[in-house]
Chain A
Amino acid sequence: MSTTEKTDRETEVQQLRARIAALEAELVEQAERTERIVAAAQARTYWLDRWHLDLNALMQRPGAAEFRALVRGLRWIVRGLKKVKRTLLRGS
């Protein structure tokens, strides 16, 4: 192998190693972001986990849709009453 060929090969190896290092660093960054997201989600769901509440499973249960409809209805009534109150207060 000539000196030029040897130098070219070494350069290529160095470039490949630098590329691997860059990809590995990227992987660490990505892993950090992912772990941070999971940890943040765990911090948010602490009380749900503490009380063994799986809201997705809960909302699949019979009556959940009706319950949501009821809450929506109540919210609509409360908002309506507030609106009426505001209108009346503005009128006075």
Chain B
Amino acid sequence: MSRVSVVIPVKDGERYLAELLDAVAREGADEVLVIDSGSTDRSLEIVRSARGVELLQIDPAEFGHGRTRNLGAERTSGELICFLTQDATPTPGWLDAVRAAFALDAQVGAVFGPHLPRADTSPMIARELERHFAGFAGVDGGPALQGAGDEPFLSNVNAAYRRDVWEQIRFRDVAYSEDQAFGRDLLAAGWLKAYHPDAAVLHAHDYGALEFMRRYFDEYRGLHATTGHVEGFHPLDALRTVRAETAADLRWLKEQGAPAGERARWAARAGVHHGGRRVFSALGSRADRLPAGVRERLSLEGRGDGSTPDPLGPPATPPPAGRPIAPQRAEDDYADAARVLREGAVPLLDPIPGMAERERLRLALVVPPWRRGSGGHNTLFQLLSRLERRGHVCSVWVSDLYGETAGTWPAVLRDEINEWFAPFDGPVYKDFADWHGADVVMATGWQTVHPALLLDGCRARAYIVNDHEPEFYATSTESRLAEDTYRHGLHCVAASPWLRDVVAERYGASADAFQLGVDHALYAPRADIARRGDTVVYYARHSTDRRAVPIGLMALAELHRRRPDTRIVLFGTDRPPRTSFPYEHCDVLSGPQLAALYNEATVGLCLSLTNFSLMPKEMLACGLPCVELAGVSAESIFGDDGPLALAPLDPVELARTIERLLDDRGEWERRSQTGIEFVASHTWDVATDEVEAGLRHALRERERELVTSPAAQT
């Protein structure tokens, strides 16, 4: 068995010294050395009266945390050298645990154990110690090894070293944190360190509030000297941290059974402690910028000297010491996407013959969070409402990637669907904890596809594609992940023939199309509203980039230059855009308000750089001719010269097209009439027919596997 030497630096340590020396003797250490650097209390008397303890006295000026411990190691002979501080009392089993930790691996060069709070330790320190050391334990709370890349933490309050490893590395002569520097050097040299929860000592720095702050000043000053670490300080962050830490202290006290009165008493002290810590640690790591007098006053040890000399010298370019950040969230934003890319989709249930033709299906709609007026969600809920009325069993699952609905509970979400979009009798679930399978799970926005791919108990997966979403983003993670969603074999049901062709041709997805429906009860020509001959209405939602609002505004500026008397009305945004022409602003309008506006206006302008949207159809349904962009998606629905007046993405051409509709009564009449006739057949019921056919198509594709699979062929 290895011989063990215990080295204890002491200065005025009478309070716990006798208890400590008794514990070390009880544990069976082979050699005990106390190095006293000028104690004026009873420390020397206690050491001299203890049996088997060697005393070495040094001049206080010679003391250095690294230097003195190197001296202690040199003056002892054990294969294992344990360092304890004068206020660290080993608990029973300490030395056995130290030995056991060294036996874990031949490469273990150092061992450390937890510092347990004493009965009178402040809750701030007790909690911090508990949390700090728990992080080093193994998964089962037992011993654990740490190597290169792990946190280099070591603490000479309670640590043990293999003599040959100490001889190779030695402690740096620094004012503080010699143990941390040793830990860093140890791991860099390829050794391991081990943590053993039973190698514990009772230990506490029971300073007053101000002393604590000054100690933090010294500690961070030492840390800066050894690693170059500069503690960040941002007042708001500091306030948040102090509040969170104080709350955690109070929770901890409650868990320990402290009565309310005691918790209240500690609340203020904890606030001062954590606040002081933030300030003094930041000051300590910038001590070299402070005047010597200030340094001396702030230092618990009264040290006013400048930077600490390091005879071994720091590494030529010391690696930057990053500020440790604890995990702040359970999962990353795109964890589901990563899981799908890594492991693939969860397998679907086996197909059943005839499932595509079954009268009633279990349909689950996975949607991202919504806002009032969201066009895409309106489409989805109009469809779901009608699918439900046809007897399908429908449910809504909110996939909240960014925590937007964190404060909204399911019943409220359900009410919003009914109030803002369409009647829905089914349940609404947040996240997928209660997921219970479906015949068809329908992904909607791109963010919902990866979560939907991880749902089990499904016969088929479909993708209600409202738009080509990769185009919503600049080249980015989001654009790439959005593209990825079309490549996972979901059967796409796209909101226009153009969009169907995009997903089929660019990504090889199987796809059907549906036509957006119009609520003809609301959007229809009205005899009670007089149609004006001078009004252009424009959907100027500038927060949506694909709406090409800068181009639209330039077109209207051109129109205003040509026809200063034309009345221009902008709507669809609550922030009036800044323009070079006068206009009337109408914010975000309700359905009935929009219908009234469309019945009063002469020409509508609504641009989309991606998929065609519902708004031009609603304008047409009210008999309002509309100008849209040519060469994008509108032709796939209306043809080249249908009810819509199409113009290239050019302000002058757009202005000219609007002007022609204002001037040419014949063309206006023709487009108005054909528009009404054209969209008459575009209803939500028809759209629901098309979507339902798409969902059954998805199931039929699965059934086809029965015919084409090798098992079926044998």
Contacts and interface: CB of A to CB of B under 8 A. Distances in A.
Co-assembled chains A and B: yes
A9 to B, nearest CB: 15
A35 B407 contact: no
Given A42-B427, A46-B411, A49-B412, A28 B354 contact: no
Interface stretch (B34-42, B187-195, B355-363, B680-688): B355-363
Contact of A39 (B362, B407, B409, B414): B414
Interface string B432-451: 00001000000000000000
Contacts of A38: 427
B426 A52 contact: no
Nearest to B410: A42
A42 B414 CA distance: 8
B414 to A, nearest CB: 5
B355 A46 contact: no
A52 B407 CA distance: 8
Contacts of B407: 52
A35 B411 contact: no
A20 B703 CA distance: 15
Contacts, number: 57
Interface string B418-436: 0000000111100000001
Contact of B414 (A24, A31, A32, A43): A43
A23 B394 CA distance: 19
Interface string B652-675: 000000000000000000000000
A20 B362 CA distance: 16
Given A49-B410, A49-B412, A42 B393 contact: no
B393 A28 contact: yes
Query: Which of B362, B411, B414, B426 has the most chain A CB atoms closer than 10 A to its own CB?
Result: B411
B587 interface: no
A38 B430 CA distance: 13
A24 B411 contact: no
Interface in A29-60: 31-32, 34-36, 38-39, 42-43, 45-46, 48-50, 52
A24 B358 contact: yes
Contacts of A32: 360, 393
Contact of A49 (B361, B395, B411): B411
Give the size category of A's interface with B: 20 to 34
A39 B410 contact: no
B411 A48 contact: yes
Contacts of B415: 46, 50
A17 interface: yes
A52 B354 contact: no
B353 interface: yes
A42 to B, nearest CB: 4
A18 to B, nearest CB: 10
A50 B409 contact: yes
Nearest to B409: A49
B352 interface: yes
Given A42-B428, A43-B414, A31 B362 contact: yes
Contacts of B352: 20, 24
B427 A39 contact: yes
Contacts of B427: 35, 38-39, 42
Contact of A50 (B360, B362, B412, B428): B412
Interface string B365-402: 00000000000000000000000000001110000000
Contacts of B425: 36, 39
A74 interface: no
Contact of B393 (A31, A46, A48): A31
A81 interface: no
B703 to A, nearest CB: 12
Nearest to B358: A24
A49 B412 CA distance: 6
Nearest to A23: B352
A48 B415 CA distance: 13
A56 B407 CA distance: 18
B426 A46 contact: no
Contacts of A36: 425
A21 interface: yes
A79 B414 CA distance: 40
Nearest to B354: A21
A39 B394 CA distance: 11
Contacts of A20: 352-353
A5 B430 CA distance: 53
A38 B409 CA distance: 14
A55 to B, nearest CB: 13
A52 B408 CA distance: 8
Given A28-B360, A43-B414, A35 B353 contact: no
Contacts of A49: 409-412
Nearest to A16: B353
12 contacts: A17-B353, A25-B360, A27-B362, A35-B427, A38-B427, A39-B425, A39-B427, A43-B411, A45-B411, A46-B415, A48-B411, A50-B409
Give me the 9 closest cross-chain CB pairs, A-B, nearest first: A49-B409, A49-B411, A38-B427, A42-B411, A39-B427, A46-B411, A32-B393, A31-B393, A49-B412
Interface of B: 352-355, 358, 360-362, 393-395, 407, 409-412, 414-415, 425-428, 436
Interface of A: 17, 20-21, 24-25, 27-28, 31-32, 34-36, 38-39, 42-43, 45-46, 48-50, 52
Given A32-B360, A49-B412, A50-B411, 17 more contacts: A24-B358, A28-B358, A28-B360, A28-B393, A32-B393, A35-B393, A35-B426, A35-B427, A39-B425, A42-B410, A42-B427, A43-B414, A49-B409, A49-B410, A49-B411, A52-B407, A52-B409
